[in-house]
């Protein structure tokens, strides 16, 4: 692992997020920067953790799931356990999304039915209010 370090503004700029977001993840215990006085010094590991958090958020992982994956990070062991866990979580998320898609399709059908009934009822109401000639 390289000995390069990053300031909070370096990471924010590089990863296109706010310093406030980085501090939030730090408060949640997901990042552990060194402190030099008031300055936060982030390691390459912190950068990898932050990337993992951001990727996890994009695909719908909770912070707890991100924490679990970060805790499994072990570059010396090839990250096998982390990668296996990530694959398992991806499969679970995919299953959830498939179910949500089915639920949405069902809801659309129900909306179509409700719309048709309302349209028919409205037409009947309009017809019944027209004067007979």
Q: What is the pLDDT of residues 57-105, one digit of tens each?
A: 999 999 999 999 999 988 787 888 889 999 999 999 999 999 999 999 9
Residue 58 φ then ψ, to 5°: -60, -30
Chain segment 13-66, per-residue pLDDT in tens: 999 999 999 999 999 999 999 999 989 999 999 999 999 999 999 999 999 999
Q: Which residue has the tokens 């659309």?
A: 108
- Residue pair 21/57 in contact (Cβ under 8 Å)? The answer is no
Give dist(CA 77, CA 81) in Å, integer.
9
């Amino acid at each position: 692992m390289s000995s390069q370090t990053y300031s909070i503004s370096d990471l924010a700029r590089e990863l296109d997020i706010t310093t406030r977001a980085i501090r939030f993840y730090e408060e949640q215990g997901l990042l552990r920067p060194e402190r030099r006085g008031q300055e936060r010094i982030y390691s390459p590991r912190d950068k990898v953790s932050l990337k993992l958090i951001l990727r996890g958020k994009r695909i719908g992982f909770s912070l707890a799931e991100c924490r679990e994956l970060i805790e499994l990070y072990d570059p010396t062991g090839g990250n096998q356990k982390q990668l296996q866990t990530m694959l398992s979580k991806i499969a679970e998320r995919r299953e959830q999304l498939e179910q949500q898609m089915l639920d949405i399709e069902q809801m659309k059908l129900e909306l179509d039915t409700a719309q048709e009934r309302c349209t028919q009822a409205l037409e009947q109401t309009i017809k019944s209010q027209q004067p007979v000639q």
